[in-house]
Amino acid sequence: AQSVSQHNHHVILSEAASLELGCNYSYGGTVNLFWYVQYPGQHLQLLLKYFSGDPLVKGIKGFEAEFIKSKFSFNLRKPSVQWSDTAEYFCAVNTLYSGAGSYQLTFGKGTKLSVIP
Amino acid sequence: DVKVTQSSRYLVKRTGEKVFLECVQDMDHENMFWYRQDPGLGLRLIYFSYDVKMKEKGDIPEGYSVSREKKERFSLILESASTNQTSMYLCASSSVYYSYEQYFGPGTRLTVT
């Protein structure tokens, strides 16, 4: 079974600092990759996704992520964080194979980001 | 916009009670999912359904069952609630035709005392 590792449990940054959150997955086949964000008290929402093509994908609110197949990684980045980016971030992998199991997402354990004004 | 709604935001139940959590989506999605979210553990899949009356076990199905009688509605049932089922429960849906992206409801925070 595939697994997703997020390296940092809690990251604390000052406003305007740059952000990089690590995500590695274990599956060797074709994957779809996602970053979800959960702001305090709100539901989980999609930040960005990778399916194919350009490995550098851009999402909402200035976030981007780079898919590096050789490293099985999909790290999330933002050049300059704001206090409003305080949230929990989840990396997820959807593996492509036949059968009902192909609809599943496997999530990492999440990284809490706290941005200090 | 896709909307996934859950019947309750907060629920408090006693040990041994039968608990029903309801989820409804309005986008005619084929797939529906139930997760539980616990601090430090992320989201773990309990059950999912890819069609009416069809269900598949996820990673942690023990102590739970599900029902999908209509396409838009997916229910999670705790037959006999226990304190270790105190958690945040998230419902999600997705379409088989559009990238398998999942849309989440607001969650139900269940406390079992």
Where exactly are the structural domains of chain B? 4-100
Residue ranges of domains in chain A, CATH in brackets = 4-116 (2.60.40.10)
Are B105 and A105 in contact (CB < 8 Å)? Answer: no
| Weakest mean pLDDT among A29-38, A99-108, B85-94 | A99-108
Q: Which two tokens stand for residue B100?
A: 């398998």
Q: Can you give the pLDDT at residue B77?
A: 98
Closest alpha carbon to A57 in A69, A47, A46, A49: A49
Across B36-41, average pLDDT: 92
Are B31 and A103 in contact (CB < 8 Å)? Answer: yes
Q: Which residues pair with A14 in a beta bridge?
A: A116
Q: What are the tens digits of pLDDT across the range A78-93?
A: 999 999 999 999 999 9
Superfamily of domain B4-100: Immunoglobulins (2.60.40.10)
Compute the distance between CA of residue B28 and CA of residue B3 in angstroms, rounded to an integer. 10
pLDDT over 60 (residue A98): no
Q: Hey, which bits of chain B come out as E strands?
A: 4-6, 10-13, 19-25, 31-38, 42-51, 54-57, 64-70, 73-78, 87-94, 103-104, 108-112
Q: Does A100 touch chain B (CB under 8 A)?
A: yes
Across A16-32, average pLDDT: 90
Give residue A105's pLDDT band: very low, low, confident or very high (50, 70, 90).
confident
